[in-house]
Amino acid sequence: MISVLGITGLERHLCIKAMDSKNKKISKILDKYKSSFSSTDLSNLESLLSNDSLVNEEYLLFTDGACEFDNDYKPINAGIGGVIKLKNKILYSFSENVGVKTNNEAEYLALIKGVDLCIKNNISNVLIFADSELVVKQINGDYKVKNERMAALHKKTHDLLKMLSSWEINHVLRDKNTEADDLSKQGLSK
């Protein structure tokens, strides 16, 4: 999903991080000269430079599903994995075996597990990244959900997403989702 200004959620997060670094440098300079400002101007400047609560509380959720197949390409095992991060620090992670599921079902189950973990830990502003373009486009309403099993998972996902204050889901390439990918593969052997 392309967000405002035509950049992805991950790029937006990196821009916010860069702005935060700039703001800290500007704050240090202002500290040297704060006696030159009126209290109103100083307060306004500090307010502009401080991290607002949305930025401070915007968490990143990366999810992935993995599937093993038999010789006839029928699913025989599936795993899910994911990480929740704040400021590049992993706060929570999960890795589970979910039994015999298709790859798309595993992708949805990883997303469901990740969102549920956010809810249980009072995380309400979430940028979500998944490498399943199908799941991302279905969640965003760009693709219809035709399969009954997928429709049930789609509904469950949206029911959980409604419990968050704000969320955005973006497709991310597998090489930008390595932690969740590794955890989903570990889930295959559990």
Q: Over the stretch 54-92, which tens digit does the pLDDT of each residue have?
A: 334 689 999 999 999 999 999 999 999 999 999 889 999
Q: Which residues pair with 66 in a beta bridge?
A: 79
Label residue 29 by pLDDT band (50, 70, 90): confident
pLDDT of residue 12 exceeding 70, the answer is: no
| Per-residue pLDDT at 1 | 36
| Per-residue pLDDT at 187 | 97
Q: Which of 110, 155, 124, 142 is nearest to 58 (CA)?
A: 124
Q: Which of 184, 16, 13 is nearest to 85 (CA)?
A: 13
**Of residues 32 and 10, more confidently modeled:** 32
**Residue 79 dihedral angles phi and psi, to the nearest 5°:** -135, 155
Q: Which residues pair with 65 in a beta bridge?
A: 80
Q: Which residues pair with 99 in a beta bridge?
A: 78
Label residue 7 by pLDDT band (50, 70, 90): very low
69 vs 73: CA distance, rounded Å = 5
Label residue 172 by pLDDT band (50, 70, 90): very high
Label residue 20 by pLDDT band (50, 70, 90): low
Name residues whose C-beta falls within 8 Å of residue 55's C-beta, 6 or more positions apart in sequence. 16, 20
- Assigned token pair, 163: 């419990």
